[in-house]
Structure 1
Amino acid sequence: MAYAVMTTWKHKNPIDWKEMASEDFSKMPKGTTVQWFAIDEYNHGSFATYTSKEVYDGFKAELNAYREEASSSREIEKTLDVVGPINVDVG
């Protein structure tokens, strides 16, 4: 069953989408999708879908290390973190 992770982030400075788009996602597990969306000039959301909870659990330590580095280098703070199985997929 697919597994979803949604986070929101508060930036100290206005969001630089060009810089964010230059991130290297080559280490993401196969089949993972990630979307980032604007909430306002200083806040963004992230929605990631993993092929299963097991895939997410296996990648979680690397994801947390990335988040810790990004939080420091970009001066951002995580304001929401929710995870769970995708029970309905329309589309």
Structure 2
Amino acid sequence: MAYAVMTAWKHKNPIDWKNMVPEIDKMPEGTTIQWFADEYNHGSFATYTSKEVYDDFKAELDAYREKVSSSMDLEKTFDAVGPINVDVS
């Protein structure tokens, strides 16, 4: 079952979208990430192929988030994690 992670982040400085590129070198195969935002806030919606894939990747993701939070002066304001139970296409 697919697994979703949605977070929201508040930036202290205006977001420069040209430089907002994920710095994680290798995402798990089949993972998708979308970002949405305004000038000072951005959200992230990631879909993993399973909870196991997410769990195996979580330590790397947490390290990335810690590094970026510090270097870009941002704060996580929302976090939701769980299985995708309905998928309407």
Instruction: Indicate whether 1:41 and 2:39 are aligned.
Output: yes
The CA RMSD measured in Å over matched residues stands at 1.0
What is aligned with 1:12? 12
- TM-score, structure 2 as length reference: 0.95
| Residue identity (%) | 79
Runs of 4+ more than 6 Å apart: none
- TM-score, structure 1 as length reference: 0.93
How many correspondences in the alignment?
Answer: 89
Unaligned residue ranges in structure 2 (runs of 5+): none
Unaligned residue ranges in structure 1 (runs of 5+): none
List aligned pairs for 1:1-91, cutoff 5 A.
1-21=1-21, 23-38=22-37, 40-91=38-89
